[in-house]
Amino acid sequence: MFSLLAYAYFYDQINGQCNTLLYCFTFCLESVVMGSIGTYIDIFTGTPNTTENYGIYRWFFDNGSNILLSIIMLNIVGGIIIDTFGSLRE
């Protein structure tokens, strides 16, 4: 989902990383695993993160990816592991 948004709306901000949708998917996947999409977009574009070039949509994109993919997915996996150990203990 985030790679589609990055490819459609933030194509000009991700220079050379989203030439095709497959490259954009791998870029977003690698960025989320290593940290945040917004951090890596700023590194690859070479522009500092200021309010003039950031925008509210980009803020929601960066933080939404961090919240949804990192925090919620890790809690889901942790819940599955705890539930599995709970059922094995019984």
pLDDT tens, per residue, the chain with 90 residues: 888 888 888 887 777 778 889 988 988 888 877 777 777 777 776 666 665 667 788 888 888 877 887 788 889 999 999 999 988 887
Counted domains in the chain = 1
- What is the per-residue pLDDT for 43? 74
Structural domain including 78 reads 2-89
Is residue 8 within 8 Å of 28, Cβ to Cβ? no
Residue that has been written with the tokens 């933080």 in this structure: 63
Sorted by sequence, the CB contacts under 8 Å of residue 25 that are 6+ apart come out as 3
Model confidence, pTM: 0.63
Residue that has been written with the tokens 């996996």 in this structure: 77
- What is the per-residue pLDDT for 22? 92
Q: What is residue 80's DSSP assignment?
A: H
